[in-house]
Amino acid sequence: MNLKKWLQIAFANLAIVAAIGVALRYKIAFSLPFIDQKHLLHGHSHFAFSGWVTQALMAITVAKVSAAGGKDLFKRYNWILFGNLICAYGMLFSFPVQGYGLFSIFFSTCSLFIAYLFAFYLWADINRCPAPIIAFSWFKAAAVFSAISSLGAFSLAYMMATKNMHQNWYLAAVYFFLHFQYNGWFSFVVLGLLFDKLEEIGIDRKSLRRIYLIFALACVPAYFLSALWMPIPTIIYVLVVIAAFAQVAAWGWSVNLIWHNRTALKDGMHLAPYRVLLLSLTALTIKLLLQLGSTIPSLSTITFGFRPIVIGYLHLVLLGVITLFILGYAMHIDQLAETKMSKTGISVFIVAVILNELALMVQGSAAMGYIMVPFINEVLFGIAILLFAGVFMIALSKSKSR
């Protein structure tokens, strides 16, 4: 198995994630009595994390380290990638049936240990590479944050086992896991790939290194951006504000470097992946600005209290930042052919992501005023179908590529 085969599997998994999203939206808008919404949602989210994003990022990371080290490492990692895939499908089938039960907890726990093994192997292989690149620092940090995120999952397991489910601690554990997955593991691999490209076109390595250090140091205190609704000490709040400003400043620095080197960057890739990656980075900019806005405690309390806003933010990161970046990067490295079908699929997907964010923003804003938006659930169901259509075309074009 090589990068091409693993990405084919990952894109097929993305289509499954989108199909389940359609079912979830259908059940909200209409009726689907034989499906437990909460259980299916758990299967959807766990499979999206493991079967789509983690599977794709693991494969891309292995390919990058292989290229830098001058040897194919997939034989060394194939069993880890297979293990992650088995765990992903185990969660996909067990969560909808039993929710948090024996099999779903078994597969989700195994996936955490697979992540530990991947982190261990990745560190070792990066250290063996003769010429370190800036991406390696991001990859190492990503692996560490992936391991740290498991503390949130184990905390949830402990609370369930002891039947001590205090609402605040439950949410704190959930957001801990999500933060170090979204803003740690996912984002640091993506930024590592971006900064590798910036280093490749000749941008000063010292500047790139300093930006990395700012993001790495800010990641841990930034967790409390998701917990400002809890009573936290003033010193922690101050650190949170500093972390939020630091990330925005570091990203502003990055954008400035990209802007002044845009010609070299654009010349180094085809137009289609360039545009897709640009949209991903735009979504990242919006995400970081929203994080900064959430440092206002009253605003944070309001936004985290309304489900459509939380879902909108999570989808902004997972679809707008991470998924779009993977699609653009796959096109850039010739792992997603620029065919009519793939381009149409990506265009449909982008339109659906934008419509999804707008619809959730309208729903969330209306909910703050306790206003029901007519047919909003039906609209979101239609958008979910559009998302699936786009992803299906992408997955189909990937399966047909040689």
Among residues 305, 138, 292, 154, which one has the least CA distance to residue 216?
138
Q: How much is the pLDDT for 338?
A: 87
In contact, 288 and 294? CB cutoff 8 Å? no
> What span, in angstroms and rounded, lies between the C-alpha atoms of 291 and 279?
18
Per the structure block, which two tokens stand in for 147? 């391991």
Burial 234-266 (b: 16+ CB within 10 A, else e): eeeeebbbebbebbbebbeebeebbeeeeeebe
Per the structure block, which two tokens stand in for 330? 């796959």
CA trace torsion 271, 275, 281, 283 (10° rounding): -170
pLDDT at 401 over 70: no
Tens digits of residue pLDDT in 239-276: 999 999 999 999 999 999 999 999 999 888 899 999 99
End-to-end Cα separation, the chain, in angstroms: 14
Q: pLDDT over 90 for what percent of the chain?
A: 69
Per the structure block, which two tokens stand in for 124? 């070792």
Q: What is the mean pLDDT of residues 166-180?
A: 87
Tens digits of residue pLDDT in 75-95: 999 999 999 999 999 999 999
CB atoms within 10 A of CB 296: 13
> What span, in angstroms and rounded, lies between the C-alpha atoms of 123 and 140?
6
Domain ranges of the chain: 136-200+203-260
> What span, in angstroms and rounded, lies between the C-alpha atoms of 38 and 49?
17
CB atoms within 10 A of CB 157: 16
Indicate the pLDDT class of residue 389, thresholds 50, 70 and 90: very high
* DSSP codes, 103-171: HHHHHHHHHHHHHHHHHHHHHHHHHH-SS--HHHHHHHHHHHHHHHHHHHHHHHHHHHHHT---HHHHH
Residue 33: phi and psi, rounded to 5, are -65, -25
Q: What is the mean pLDDT of residues 363-388?
A: 90
Provide the mean pLDDT of the chain: 91
Q: What is the mean pLDDT of residues 303-327?
A: 89
Indicate the pLDDT class of residue 365, thresholds 50, 70 and 90: confident
> What span, in angstroms and rounded, lies between the C-alpha atoms of 95 and 89?
10
Higher-scoring residue by pLDDT: 125, 167: 125
Q: What is the mean pLDDT of residues 152-163?
A: 82
Q: What is the mean pLDDT of residues 175-179?
A: 92
> What span, in angstroms and rounded, lies between the C-alpha atoms of 138 and 214?
12
> What span, in angstroms and rounded, lies between the C-alpha atoms of 52 and 176?
20
> What span, in angstroms and rounded, lies between the C-alpha atoms of 147 and 177?
10
Q: How much is the pLDDT for 228?
A: 76
Higher-scoring residue by pLDDT: 400, 143: 143
Q: How much is the pLDDT for 134?
A: 93
Query: Distance from CA of residue 188 to its chain's centroid?
Result: 10
Q: How much is the pLDDT for 304?
A: 64
Enumerate residues 6+ apart whose C-beta is below 8 A from 285.
251, 255
Range ranked top by mean pLDDT from 14-28, 163-177, 218-232: 14-28
pLDDT at 382 over 90: yes
Indicate the pLDDT class of residue 398, thresholds 50, 70 and 90: confident
Residues in the chain: 402
C-alpha distance from residue 212 to each of 137, 138, 254 (Å):
8, 7, 10
Residue 68: phi and psi, rounded to 5, are -70, -35
In contact, 1 and 78? CB cutoff 8 Å? yes
Of the listed ranges 32-41, 201-210, 333-342, 392-401, the least confidently predicted one is 392-401
Query: Distance from CA of residue 49 to its chain's centroid?
Result: 7
pLDDT at 110 over 60: yes
Element (H, E) at 271: helix 271-293
Rg of the Cα atoms in the chain: 20
Indicate the pLDDT class of residue 298, thresholds 50, 70 and 90: low
